[in-house]
């Protein structure tokens, strides 16, 4: 691209048109147009200085003038995985039973374990509202080990599964709420209780 085309671009960007720019700097439009057609280095020095002053550049900078190149998008498209979302997990029913399946979400695979199966569970209630709000979706890594202090989805004594922080104390499993509601208290279960860990919570997402 020639310097003249670069200059023309800068003039139009600054003033809207070459003619308007010419008026602003006090040079005849025909003079400016002639400079752009015949070459900036063939123009009178005083006219070059007027043009440079109008563009807020130094005459010696003309050699370095370049039209700004379009900025290419740096957004990288990440591969995603389609994950089913269920409203609840009920004892005796498959996780993805038709009556429980409410939606699908798409989640970046780089945040997931490729060797695991995931599903989404819609949060209900305020027992975990310090972390998740009612209606949020937690992404659960199915059948994964939940370490002491991690978040998991647990089913106990045949009731619908719940999201809680899990702690272990010898033969006990303690389900700890993360709630602003003081009515929600830790629940302790022992060997006499039927406790099944469905999976580990690995992420969350709002469902709009």
- The set of catalytic residues is 127, 164
Spatial separation of the C-alpha atoms in residues 93 and 81, rounded to whole Å: 24
Query: Helices in the chain by DSSP H: which ranges?
Result: 3-15, 18-25, 29-38, 45-54
Give the residues across from 58 on adjacent strands: none
Question: Strand 118-122 and strand 80-86: pairing?
Answer: parallel
Gyration radius (Cα) of the chain, Å: 33
- Both tokens of residue 10? 């800068």
For the chain, how far is it from start to end, CA to CA, in angstroms? 48
Relative to beta strand 137-142, strand 187-189 is: unpaired
At 52, list the tokens.
């440079």
| DSSP H or E run through 138 | strand 137-142
Check the CA dihedral 170-172-173-176 and report its sign.
Answer: negative
């Amino acid at each position: 691209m020639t310097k003249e085309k670069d200059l023309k671009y800068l003039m139009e960007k600054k003033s809207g048109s070459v003619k308007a720019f010419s008026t602003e700097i006090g040079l005849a439009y025909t003079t400016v147009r002639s400079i752009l057609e015949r070459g900036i280095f063939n123009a009178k020095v005083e006219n070059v200085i007027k043009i440079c002053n109008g563009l807020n550049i130094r005459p010696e900078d003309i050699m370095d003038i370049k039209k700004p190149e379009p900025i290419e998008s740096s957004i990288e498209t990440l591969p995603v995985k389609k994950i089913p979302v269920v409203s609840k997990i009920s004892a005796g029913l498959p996780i993805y039973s038709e009556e429980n399946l409410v939606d699908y979400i798409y989640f970046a695979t780089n945040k997931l374990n490729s060797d695991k199966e995931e599903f989404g569970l819609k949060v209900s209630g305020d027992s975990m509202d310090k972390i998740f709000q009612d209606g949020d979706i937690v992404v659960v890594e199915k059948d994964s080990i939940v370490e002491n202090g991690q978040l998991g989805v647990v089913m106990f004594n045949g009731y619908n599964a719940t999201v809680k922080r899990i702690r272990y104390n010898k033969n006990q499993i303690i389900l700890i709420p993360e709630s602003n509601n003081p009515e929600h208290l830790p629940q302790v279960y022992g060997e006499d209780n039927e406790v099944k860990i469905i999976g580990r919570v690995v992420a969350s997402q709002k469902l709009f």
